[in-house]
C-alpha cells in the first residue's frame, strides 16, 4: 500500500536514540515519503538537514504560534532557509489560543508575515490552529487566499473540528490533515467531519512523536502509525484501506509538488 506521512517531527529529542530504526520501520510499513515539519528556526534547519540525508524525507520551514513572541528575531533566518530545494511548504504556522504560549498580537504578526513569505515563494502552508478557527479563517480570507492566483493554499493540520469548519476550509481550497485523533472514539464531531470530507481532499499525518494511535495511548507515535489513521478513515468511510492510502498519497504529492 502507498501511504505518506505529511506531518512528522523526527528531529525532536524523543527520536534521538532510535531515529534510524524509526525511519527504517517507516519504509517497511509502506511509506513512500515523510514531510518533516519545522516549528522554529532551529527545528526548521534540523528538518532541512534530515531531508538532505534521505531522498524521501522533505522539510518545511516555519515558526509555530507557541514561539511567536520571538518572531522578529527569527523571521529573517526563516526567510533565508525557506529557499532550500527540499523545503516543500511554510509551516507549521497559525494561531494557538488554547495554550496561549505567545501573545495574540505576536501570533497574528508572525502568522501574517509568514503568509506573505509563502506567497512570495509560491509554497503551500501547513496550518496549526487551536481554539482560533474563526480568527484564522478571517486572516486567510483577507491576507492569503485572494493572492494565491489559483494555487493550492495548503493543509489545515491536525484538524479536530466539526463539519461546519471542515466545510469552510474545503471551500477555501485547503486539504485537511487527519491524524490518530480520529482513532480516539470519544470525538464524534471529528468523525462526522471525516464522513463529510471527500477522499480527494484528505492528507494523512501522525504529528509524531505526539498523538499515538488509541492502542498505544501514552506512548510515542512514529511515521508508520499513519497506517492506523488510514485504517480508521477506511472504516468510517466504508472503503478499502488501499483506496485511502493511494488517494491521500496522490493528494500529498499534489500539495507539495513531489514525486514520491
The residues of the shown chain that bind Zn ion, judged by CB under 5 A, are 207
Q: How far is the CB of 231 from Zn ion (least distance, A)?
A: 21
- Which residues have CB under 8 Å from 13's CB, separation 6+? none
Is the alpha carbon torsion for 131, 135, 138, 143 positive or negative?
A: negative
What does the longest C-alpha to C-alpha distance in the chain come to?
A: 48
The residue of the chain with the least Cβ separation from Zn ion equals: 207
Helices (H), 93-158: 104-121, 133-143
Nearer to Zn ion, 96 or 207 (CB): 207
Helix axes 188-196, 226-237, angle to 10 degrees: 70
Nearer to Zn ion, 184 or 243 (CB): 184
Nearer to Zn ion, 46 or 207 (CB): 207
Q: How far is the CB of 7 from Zn ion (least distance, A)?
A: 6
Distance CA 194, CA 255 (A): 19
Q: How far is the CB of 151 from Zn ion (least distance, A)?
A: 23
Give me 153's grid cell.
Answer: 493554499
Nearer to Zn ion, 33 or 246 (CB): 33
Q: How far is the CB of 248 from Zn ion (least distance, A)?
A: 18
Amino acid at each position: 500500500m502507498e501511504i505518506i506521512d505529511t506531518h512528522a517531527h523526527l528531529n525532536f529529542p524523543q527520536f534521538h536514540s532510535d531515529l534510524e530504526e524509526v525511519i527504517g520501520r517507516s519504509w517497511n510499513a509502506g511509506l513512500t515519503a515523510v514531510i518533516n515539519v519545522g516549528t522554529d528556526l532551529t527545528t526548521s534547519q534540523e528538518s532541512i538537514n534530515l531531508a538532505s540525508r534521505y531522498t524521501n524525507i522533505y522539510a518545511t520551514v516555519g515558526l509555530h504560534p507557541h514561539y511567536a513572541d520571538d518572531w522578529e528575531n527569527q523571521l529573517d533566518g526563516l526567510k533565508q532557509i525557506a529557499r532550500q530545494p527540499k523545503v516543500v511548504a511554510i509551516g507549521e504556522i497559525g494561531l494557538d489560543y488554547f495554550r496561549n504560549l505567545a501573545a495574540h498580537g505576536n501570533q497574528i504578526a508572525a502568522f501574517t508575515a509568514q503568509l506573505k513569505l509563502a506567497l512570495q515563494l509560491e509554497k503551500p502552508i501547513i496550518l496549526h490552529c487551536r481554539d482560533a478557527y474563526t480568527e484564522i479563517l478571517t486572516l486567510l480570507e483577507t491576507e492569503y487566499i485572494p493572492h494565491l492566483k489559483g494555487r493550492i493554499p495548503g493543509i489545515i493540520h491536525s484538524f479536530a473540528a466539526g463539519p461546519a469548519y471542515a466545510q469552510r476550509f474545503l471551500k477555501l481550497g485547503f486539504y485537511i490533515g487527519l491524524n490518530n485523533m480520529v482513532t480516539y472514539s470519544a470525538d464524534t464531531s471529528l468523525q462526522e467531519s471525516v464522513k463529510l470530507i471527500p477522499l480527494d481532499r484528505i492528507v494523512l499525518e501522525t504529528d509524531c512523536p505526539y498523538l499515538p494511535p488509541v492502542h498505544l495511548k501514552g506512548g510515542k507515535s512514529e511515521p508508520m502509525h499513519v497506517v492506523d489513521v488510514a485504517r480508521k478513515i477506511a472504516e468510517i468511510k466504508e472503503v478499502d484501506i488501499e483506496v485511502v492510502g493511494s488517494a491521500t498519497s496522490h493528494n500529498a504529492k499534489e500539495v507539495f509538488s513531489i514525486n514520491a
